[in-house]
Amino acid sequence: MPFIITDPCIGTKDTACVDVCPVDCIHPRKDEPEFAATTMLYIHPEECIDCGACVPACPVTAIYDSPESTPTSQKELVEANAVYRAGDAAAVAAAEAITQQHVQAHADLMAVAPAERAVAHAG
Ligand code: SF4
Ligand code: SF4
């Protein structure tokens, strides 16, 4: 099962996970044109090899190890990770639309500092 990036990445987006991923399945990278405009990063579900390297690299605990382990409040972002495709404008827009819906639906979480958001997921 693929790993899933969730909302502590919003406002952090430091790409530490990109630097450790052995299969380059986390996008956008800083050198991709979509980077500036995207709200967070996304993991390609078919390319992720479930190695787990990204989890300890993330400074804000944004990454869960499967869709099943992703908290209820973050479930829509499972789909955002799934639809994002680097270099595909329509897919990027689709993922970002889901993420923006998540932001609007979870003002409570967005009001929490990114580093504290993962703790708030369980609440
Ligand atoms: S689990 Fe491994 S392959 Fe999957 S996104 Fe994380 S670092 Fe990349
Ligand atoms: S390491 Fe965490 S916060 Fe940084 S880009 Fe990756 S998922 Fe986002």
C-alpha 111 to ligand 1 mean position (Å) = 28
User: Which residues share a beta bridge with 4?
Assistant: 64
Q: Is 1 in the pocket of ligand 1 (CB under 6 A)?
A: no
pLDDT tens sequence across 27-84:
999 999 999 999 999 999 999 999 999 999 999 999 999 999 999 999 999 999 999 9
Note the pTM of the prediction, 2 decimals.
0.97
48 lines ligand 1 (CB under 6 A): yes
Q: Work out the average pLDDT over 11-36.
A: 98
Domains, the chain: 4-121 (3.30.70.20)
Contacts of 23 (CB under 8 A, 6+ apart): 47, 48, 49, 51
